[in-house]
Amino acid sequence: MFFKRLVPAVAALLLLAGCSRPIDFEIDNPTDTPVTLAIDAQQHVIPAHTTVPITLEPGQYRLQSEKIGTVRMVVYADGIGGLINPTLGEYVVVTEQYVTARTNSGGLASKVELNDVVIDGPYEKVTGLFIPRRWDVGLLGELPTTVVSNGPETSSDYRTKLYNVPGFFTYLDAEDDLRAAFGPNGYQPPQATVAFTAASLPELPAAFEQQGKPMRDLYAQYLAASDAGEQKRLKKASLKLWQDFAKAQGKLNGTLPVPDEVKASAFSSQFFELWAQPAVILPDA
């Protein structure tokens, strides 16, 4: 069934399985001047208002630019790729809803805030030196005007696309409103610094340390792993450790002070979330 696009509209982490392969990334420069990003020994010069596609094998890389200084990036096997953002700018994920003439399409409420200006719509702001791909269409692609679905005629379908801020403003096609909202100086990219992946797991109550120690060790090993096979082995081992920790939590549920239970949950969540990351950013060694 064909759906036509409804604007505005909305938007999952897609973990790809399979054998190791090069991972797709985009490097973007939404500014008015060229940006140079070194990845190991290779210099990438990104002209103003340009996006460059690259592929990286699983492993560790050293990234360097004027804005970010020198950092390390670990790319993991079977990852979903994403955006390398050397200017540390803000980005917006837009969700489009596709409908038929028979779809009862309600509004999809959301909003994004840029320079304290709130823009209502199915939008999500994302930031960081590395932004994992959680969209259907990247900066270099275009949303389709129609999609084919096996759903009933009264259903709808969705696609998401990543925009840098200039591209998002073009998408909105509201130049006069934007000029009034942002004032004479227009939108100004905020000052930002690199946010690193946590180098270790947080503090744990003593009651959980027996289960927590092997998780700490595995977490540290995974952050340092540069071989695709080793990355896969560690990732496979993580599931049992996480399940054992969850069982220990269940047995102690209701017997510990609430602050201890909160700490245990934060520990478990941070451990679990690492394995869903296609890449991490670490300080230079």
Domain assignments of the chain as residue spans, ordered by start: 2-182, 206-283
Token pair, residue 98, equals: 């596709």
Distance CA 59, CA 268 (A): 25
* Cβ proximity of 42 and 55 under 8 Å: no
Collapsing DSSP to helix, strand or coil, 25 comes out as strand
Q: Which residue has the tokens 């994403």?
A: 82
DSSP letter (8 states) at residue 166: H
What is the H or E stretch that residue 265 is in? helix 258-274
For residues 253-263, one letter each, b for 16 or more C-beta atoms within 10 angstroms of the residue's C-beta and e for the rest, the string is eeebeeebbeb
Cα torsion 56, 61, 66, 69: sign? positive
- What pLDDT is stored for residue 9 in this prediction? 34
User: What is the residue type of 37?
Assistant: L
Report yes or no on whether pTM surpasses 0.95. no
What is the H or E stretch that residue 219 is in? helix 209-224
Distance CA 259, CA 251 (A): 17
* Cβ proximity of 4 and 66 under 8 Å: no
* Cβ proximity of 25 and 81 under 8 Å: yes
Token pair, residue 211, equals: 């289960």
Strands 82-84 and 23-29, by their bridges, are parallel
What is the H or E stretch that residue 224 is in? helix 209-224
Distance CA 241, CA 76 (A): 20
pLDDT in tens, the chain (285 residues): 444 444 443 333 333 334 568 999 999 999 999 999 999 989 999 999 999 999 999 999 999 999 999 999 999 999 999 999 999 999 999 999 888 767 666 667 689 999 999 999 999 999 999 999 999 999 999 998 888 877 777 677 889 999 999 999 999 999 899 999 999 999 999 999 999 999 999 999 999 989 999 999 999 999 999 999 999 999 999 999 999 999 988 888 888 899 999 999 999 999 999 999 999 999 997
Token pair, residue 6, equals: 């409804």
- What pLDDT is stored for residue 263 in this prediction? 94
Distance CA 15, CA 20 (A): 13
Collapsing DSSP to helix, strand or coil, 248 comes out as helix
